[in-house]
Amino acid sequence: VPLEQIKRKLLQLKDAGRLDKVKMLLLTNCTFDGFVYNVQRVMEEVLAIKPDMIFLWDEAWFAFASFTYNYKQRTGMFSAKKLYKKYKTVEYRDEYKKYIKGLKKGEQSIMPDPDKVRIRVYSTQSTHKTLSSFRQGSMIHIWDEEYRRKCESTFLEAYMTHTSTSPNYQMLASLDVGRRQVQFEGYELVEKSIELAMVLRAKIADNPQLSKYFDVLTINDFIPQKYRQTGLTRYYDKATGWNKMEEAWELDEFVLDPTKITLNIGRTGVDGDTFKNKYLMDKFNIQINKTSRNTVLFMTNIGTTRGSVTYLLNALLKIADELDEEIGALNKREREIHINRIKSLTKDVPPLPDFSYFHSSFQAVPGVPGGNLREAYFLAYNEDNYEYIPLEECLPELKKGRELVASSFIIPYPPGFPVLVPGQVVSKEIIQFLNAIDVSEIHGFRADLGLRVFKKSVLDRNKTESLRKNGKVSKNIRTVKSKTRNSNNTISKNGKTISPVSVKRKTKTKNIIKK
């Protein structure tokens, strides 16, 4: 999520007098594909708008980052410590005073007020994914100035709600051993994993048989130029060789973790899921976790060896040779089908739709960013509140002017993230995307039933409630008590959604739904 989008949403909430409802900013760093934020810049500029913002960095795939400097400077805990010390200095206080005096009228500060700022940072890491531990072994790291004063008891209560009073000592021991391992050998192991990732990238680019079918996607493919202030486009280029990454990791808004290697397989004519199962798993016992329609993702970590990289390269070479034989044996019609398949995987790729917006009935203040996803989610527990519309009928319904509002999460896999959430208005682009993708799994959607959307009576419940209070409810309307609602505001990972931290209301509301 670009920083400019995050700030825009926060400033809109500030202008509407609802900034106090935003309690936490949750962002994934780094992502499955390897996108890494400039963590210090994000926190500084957000704290300039809301000085007590809580940051939750989802570092599930970034536990290894603390053991080499390029990576460490983009982690939550390192950045929290650095900013905490910075804001306590006399030099920063003097710099802030000069900066504020130089601001033009109406200009937003990008420097936090040292008298108001509070560093409140949490990082969650899946240790078992990139370091050593038993499966599920994970850690929560905390740097929170207000922890003991404001949230220690509630944090521990929430933690105990989701854990057992009978701890798994084997898992805890494995976490301790893994911590000890990287304390002594972390730098060497992480640097080695980066080196092997670079070797894999270079070998695929340099080998003519591999580059015939495969491309490793580069920084330039993933990150737009305006977010790469240093202009770095790739770590390795066949013509120019290696490029230094240090300056980019210090200055750019987004960088790409080189240990996440996304392989474009579109020219094979094979989709990602088939390539994963039919080729890599069935023939070579190579397991990968993430695919898209035309890519597969490989990763190196502290357990990767030169032998495993060589094995993968040999497997890809054998697949390329096999594809040569298969394509050479095709008849004229089969070749046309194969060419069309390649075209669909390389050129006719449906664009990922943006988040639309929450329906006004799920917005705390119409027109202001934010949505009560929790209320929408629990309203969908009652089958009287929703209906199914066949996917092929959705576009005609939209053309008629009907507002379709999702009542469930709709998650195509791949890519594996929601294109619709409860309470979100269904856009034309989202329907076109769902019609265009050819994936085997769409969680939350059954083709035989159709798209699950809220009934009009649910969307009009607030209007009906107003009529009821004024004594204008007709006899064919019944009232249904809703569950205690929370007013929630948290910025989502895609930057499009802002929703509020739980604030329980003491009085129950009533929803009016037509029979």
Top pLDDT among 438 and 504 is at: 438
What mean pLDDT do residues 469-477 have?
A: 55
Q: How confident is the model at residue 133 (pLDDT cuts 50, 70, 90)?
A: very high
Q: Beta-carbon neighbour count of residue 313 at 10 Å? A: 16
What mean pLDDT do residues 31-55 have?
A: 96
pLDDT in tens, 254-279: 999 999 999 999 999 999 989 999 99
Q: Structurally, what CATH architecture does the domain formed by 190-346 represent? A: Alpha-Beta Complex (3.90)
Using a cut of 0.75, tell me whether the model's pTM lies above it.
yes
Residue 272 host element (H or E):
helix 272-274
How many alpha carbons lie under 13 Å from residue 170 in its C-beta half-sphere? 3
Q: What percent of the chain has pLDDT over 90?
A: 76
What mean pLDDT do residues 399-404 have?
A: 94
Most confident of 5-19, 234-248, 360-374: 5-19
Q: What is the pLDDT of residue 350?
A: 81
Mean pLDDT, the chain, rounded, equals 88
Q: How confident is the model at residue 464 (pLDDT cuts 50, 70, 90)?
A: low
Q: Is the pLDDT of residue 485 over 50?
A: no
What mean pLDDT do residues 475-480 have?
A: 48
Domain with CATH 3.90.1150.10 in the chain: 190-346
Q: Considering Cα of 314, then 317, then 321, then 327, what sign does the dihedral take? A: positive
Tokens representing residue 176 in the block: 């301790």
Q: Is the pLDDT of residue 316 over 60?
A: yes
Most confident of 73-87, 338-352, 495-509: 73-87
- If one looks up domain 360-514 in CATH, what number appears? 3.90.100
Q: What percent of the chain has pLDDT over 70?
A: 90
Domain with CATH 3.90.100 in the chain: 360-514
What mean pLDDT do residues 201-213 have?
A: 95
